[in-house]
Amino acid sequence: MASACIWPIDLETHIEDMLNVIKYEDLRDIVLVGHSYGGMVATGVADRVRDRVAQLIYVDAFVPEDGQSLFDINEPGRQPMLDGAKKGDGWRIPPMTSPPDTAPEDVEWLAARRAPMPIKCFETRLKLQGGKLTLPRSYIYATRFPPVDTFGRFARRTKSEAGWRYFEIDASHAPNVTAPEALMALLEKIAV
C-alpha cells in the first residue's frame, strides 16, 4: 500500500517558483507586480534578485516587513480565514468571494480558476536576505474594498513613507477583473 505524501506548499514555495521563472527565462529589468497575497511573494522575490528588478508595484496588496507572515499583518482577516479552513479539511483556506461589483460572467470565470490555498502560505514568515528593500516601489490602492479595510493601512503607510509612489484606482480588490482597462493604464503610467 502506497502512502500519500503532502508536499508542504508555503510562501517559500511561491517565492522559489517565481525565482526559477526569472532564472530559467533569464529575465532582467523586471517590473514585478504583486496583488493581494502576491505582495508577500513579490517582496520575497525582489529581495533575492534585486539586480534584476527595475521596480516593484503592489496592487491592493500586503506589504510585509522582514519576519512577518500574512497572518501577522492581517489580524482582522486571520480568524475568518482559520474558520474557513476548519470548515474544510483544516489545512487549506477557501478562496475569497468576489467583490460585489464583479460582473456575473466574471464571477463564473473566477470560480473556475480559484482554488483553496494551503494555510502554510499564510503562516510562513518572510525572511529577507538583503535587508530593507530600497528599489523603486509603488502602491496602488483599490478604493472600493468593503467591508473590512484590509489594505487601507498599507495604503496609508506607503502614501506617507519615503521611497514610495502612491496611486489610487476606483475599483474593488480585484481591479484586474473589475477594472482591467483602468488598471492597465495606471500600470503603463507607473512602469515608464
Query: What is the model's pLDDT at position 65?
Result: 95
Exposure string (b/e) for 160-172, b if CB count within 10 Å is 16 or more? eeeebebbebebb
pLDDT, position 144: 87
CA proximity to 142, closest of 184, 110, 178, 175? 175
Contact in structure between 139 and 146 (CB atoms under 8 Å): no
Estimate to the nearest angstrom the gap between the alpha carbon of 105 and the chain centroid: 24
pTM over 0.95: no
What CATH class does 11-190 carry?
alpha beta
Q: Where are the domains of the chain?
A: 11-190
Span 25-67, pLDDT tens digits? 999 999 999 999 999 999 999 999 999 999 999 999 999 999 9
Is the pLDDT higher at 163 or at 81? 163
Cα-based angle 155, 94, 56 (whole degrees, multiple of 5): 30
Per-residue pLDDT at 99 = 85
Q: What is the pLDDT of residues 86-132, one digit of tens each?
A: 787 878 888 888 888 899 999 999 989 999 999 999 999 999 998 88
Better-predicted residue by pLDDT, 44 or 6: 44
